[in-house]
Amino acid sequence: MPETEWESFKKYMLNMPLEVIKQIERESATEAETLYREFKKKFEQGLCDSCGKPLSSFYSESPCFHWLLRPEGAKKENIEDVFKAKGYFRTASYVRWVCNQDVHLSRINDLSEEGDMKAVFHWSAQYRYIKWTFLCTLNDYKGHDDRHISFPHYHIEMCLNNRIFIKFNDFHLKFTDEDLFNLKCNFDKTCPVKQSFGPHGSGMEDAFSISSEDIIKRTQITNDPSKAVYHIHTILMDKDGLPREIINEALKKARESGKPVANFLKEMGYIPQIIIEPPENVPQKQIRYHPRRRKKN
């Protein structure tokens, strides 16, 4: 979009009445929720909500989102066709919805302090034996590349059972016009319109965007580490020592309520040190390796 058109769009949005903006937001949220419910219903039935066919099916005539699950017969170039046809944001949303079917949030590692922190985006997501990584560096976004690529693009890596199926350098995926518009909205701090993946496409960055107090209050304990969203350490020290009955009482209340023990230590007047970390089941971000870029001695 030319800069003059962009500025006109921003001006139009900034001058829009607040009640109109809220109405648009409500309608967008309702539409997104309807689409997600349909996706979830079909997915649980083993069907694709986009084409209506089984998730295990593959017909090369028409690229579809569910090819990202790599049904039998789908090859690298077929996966590339999906990204070319659907664009980054639409395919990324599908991947995130799929990954959140197993465990909400913790199958999507989009933590900003991990991986390439200067990238436009860099995140990994895992669903069962499939792992995807999406990466766009600033040079990728500007259209610069070692292979003299001259258009804004991004890269993906796809692993099956921990073995690489698609390498980062296999494809230079061009952003659609819709992608570029959404990215520009997010980059421009003065633009009132922002693109997000919504609550059903949230990952660990959203999980850690709330305060530690709210995490402690809202979190439920799980006996299955693979289902965990947070790993909470509670440390309590007292110069006079801690009565065993106090600790046992707090642990008992935690077991009975399913709430973290820190809640009950606070109720008893103690101030525990609380450390909240991502759980072990969060997928590690895959890094793009450049074999020709070696450090000189």
What's the CA gap between 228 and 101, in Å, rounded? Answer: 14
200 and 272 housed in the same domain: no
Q: Does residue 200 share a domain with residue 126?
A: yes
Tally of domains within the chain = 2
Count of beta carbons in the 10 Å neighbourhood of residue 177? 9
Residue 252 forms part of a structural domain: yes
- Among candidate residues 148, 172, 204, the one where a domain is terminated: 204
| Residue at a domain's end among 187, 204, 221 | 204
Q: What is the pLDDT of residue 70?
A: 96
Q: Does 82 share its domain with 200? A: yes
- Cβ(70)–Cβ(160) under 8 Å? yes
Measure Cα distances from 194 to 86, 117, 136 in Å.
20, 20, 18
Answer yes or no: is 287 within a domain. Answer: no
pLDDT tens digits, the chain, 297 residues: what are they?
Answer: 778 888 898 899 889 898 998 898 899 999 999 999 999 999 999 999 999 999 999 988 889 999 999 999 999 999 999 999 999 999 999 999 999 998 899 999 999 999 999 999 999 999 999 999 999 999 999 987 666 678 999 999 999 999 999 999 999 999 999 999 999 999 999 888 889 999 999 999 999 999 999 999 999 998 888 889 999 998 887 777 777 888 899 999 999 999 999 999 888 888 889 999 999 999 999 988 654 444 444
- The encoded tokens of residue 71 equal 């049904």
Domain ends where: 169, 187, 204? 204
**Are 75 and 193 contained in the same domain?**
yes
Residue 290, in any domain of the structure: no
Residues 65 and 169 in one domain: yes
Q: Is residue 289 part of a domain?
A: no
Q: Does residue 227 form part of some domain?
A: yes
* Same domain? 164 vs 37: yes
Give the amino acid at 285: K
* C-alpha span between 82 and 101 (Å, rounded): 21
Q: Give the CA distances from residue 202 to residues 64, 104, 186, 195, in Å, rounded to whole numbers and listed in that order.
A: 22, 8, 16, 12
- Together in a domain, 78 and 9: yes
Q: Which are the contacts of 167, defined by CB distance < 8 A and separation ≥ 6?
A: 157
Same domain, 183 and 249: no
CA count, 13 A, side-chain hemisphere, 274 = 21
Which pTM does this prediction carry?
A: 0.90
Domain co-membership, 87 together with 174: yes
132 and 173 co-located in one domain: yes
Same domain, yes or no, for 81 and 154? yes
- Domain assignment of residue 125, yes or no: yes
Say yes or no: 164 and 269 in one domain: no
Residue 77 C-beta-side C-alpha neighbours within 13 Å = 2
What is the domain extent for residue 220? Answer: 212-277
User: What is the C-alpha to C-alpha distance for residues 229 and 25, in angstroms, rounded to an integer?
Assistant: 28
Rounded CA gap, 268 and 203, in Å? Answer: 34
